[in-house]
Amino acid sequence: MCRKDRGRQARALRACAGIFAAAWASVWQHCRYLSCSRLLIASRTAFEMSAIEKIEEQFASLRIAKRSVLSEEPAYLLDIDISGSAQSESSRFVAVSCSNKSIRVYNRETLNFLREYSSCPGTLNGVRFAHVCDSLVFSACSDGTVKCWDIRLATQKAAQVFSGYPSNVFISFDINCSDLMICAGTEKVETDTFLVFWDARGSTDCASTIRQPLGVYSESHNDDVTKICFHPVKPSLVVSGSTDGLVNVFDINKDNEDDALISTCNSDSSVSFIGWSGKGYEQIYCTTHDEGFYWWDLAQLDTEEPIMLLRILDARDSVCIENGSLNYLVGGVYHEKADRLFLIGGTATGDVHLISCSAAGLSLVGALPGGHSATVRSFCWNLAEESLLTGGEDAQLLLWKPGAVERSLAKKMSMKIASSVQKRVRVHNSSLKSRKK
């Protein structure tokens, strides 16, 4: 072979070697990518597992730290909220909405009774503290008003009254995260159902004046608006739930109701609880009065992907409880650090159950037995302090803390009276017929 041919062959071999080297480099990079991806998925799964395990341990460690003293007029405890000021992460007050048409305020740490507000003959529904000023507490009233009281004042008179229209009967409400806007939902009167809005600015002035509405939404629901919930960090977003089965999301910065309606989700049953979840709080969920659970991802609205994350017709059939069964759902809470949505449920004997939600379904995390003697109707889980408040049909308000020891045991009692909420709720017959066993 001549020198010229040998040079040509050598160059060809070097070219082939370069191609093989590039190919092997590509294969190696692909394998490395797959390996990293698997490690990332594995690490993420391990993190999620460890987060859930930590929450399971925390929940299991909860013990009764305090128990409120029974009042002279025992009542169901229907809703709970805790105060929290911008200056401190700790909470000084607890407010409870009761079935005897009153709001009761307690010291956060001792559960000592402080104040009671009533609006007879109207019925107070729901309770919320202002986000910035922790001495202001709000409640919707069946007399067509939302009332605001200032705990610092030794008076029964409301500091502010937000008045609706003559036919309004308010059964739900919320105040947005910036304390600038209040929204209340009405019962259906004849053919009318409303979401009514007020400008909440100036409520800290404590001037007992009557505030008129900014306006209403009247086309998006056709039955009682049972729940209102503003977005935790975006003050213009609000979600509403109704006995018509619809869960509607609005951006109230828009000029009219049609433009404001971002999404309509259908639970096919009467809505009992709604909330926000997920990173950035781009998900919404609801429970229903016949113990269903529905979960949607609003981030998928502009994609081809389905927005439904999970649909459980009856949570009682989906959650396995040792030596018993789940009887009802109370509500939900999103745990930011664990990036996990949880539900609170229970039994008729007063046990409290924590339930984890994932796209795969519902699973039991833990149980707190022995605290209540009857159905638990309300809760407030303080994630920062790892404490839990629960209220029920036994008229008991309980504070649970990790490793606590209850020093005095008040006598527990069961109260089997028909509450105003039980009398008012109307679950669709079609829902019940379709789910009869």
Amino acid at residue number 29? Q
Alpha carbons 417 and 141: distance in angstroms, whole number:
21
Omega cis (within 30) before 121:
yes
Exposure b/e, 37-52, CB count within 10 A at least 16 = b: eeeeeeeeeeeeeeeb
Q: Could you tell me what percent of the chain has a pLDDT over 70?
A: 79
Band of residue 365 on the pLDDT scale cut at 50, 70, 90 = very high
Structural tokens at position 24:
């092997």
pLDDT of 302 higher than 80: yes
Of 376, 351, 354, residue with least CA distance to 364: 354
Task: Output 252-261 pairs: Cβ under 8 A, ≥24 positions apart.
Answer: 252/181, 252/183, 252/197, 257/217, 257/218, 257/219, 257/220, 258/219, 260/217, 261/220
Tokens standing for residue 164: 């609706």
* pLDDT of the residue at 164: 96
Q: Are strands 160-163 and 209-211 parallel, antiparallel or unpaired?
A: parallel
Report pLDDT digits (tens) over 139-187.
999 999 999 999 998 888 999 999 999 999 999 999 999 999 999 999 9
What was the pLDDT predicted at 90?
54
Give the Cα separation of 123 and 97 in Å (integer).
Answer: 10
Greater confidence (220 vs 31) lies with: 220
Q: Which CATH class is domain 49-432?
A: mainly beta
Is residue 345's pLDDT more than 50? yes
For residue 1, the model assigns a pLDDT of 52
Please, are residues 317 and 307 in contact by the beta-carbon 8 Å criterion? no
**Residue 52 confidence (pLDDT):** 79
The SS3 of residue 277 is: strand
Question: Which burial class, exposed, middle or buried, applies to 417 when counting CB atoms under 10 A from its CB (0-12, 13-18, 19+)?
Answer: exposed
Residue 413's CB is within 10 A of a number of other CB atoms, namely 13
Contact in structure between 391 and 379 (CB atoms under 8 Å): yes
User: Given this model, what pLDDT does residue 275 score?
Assistant: 98
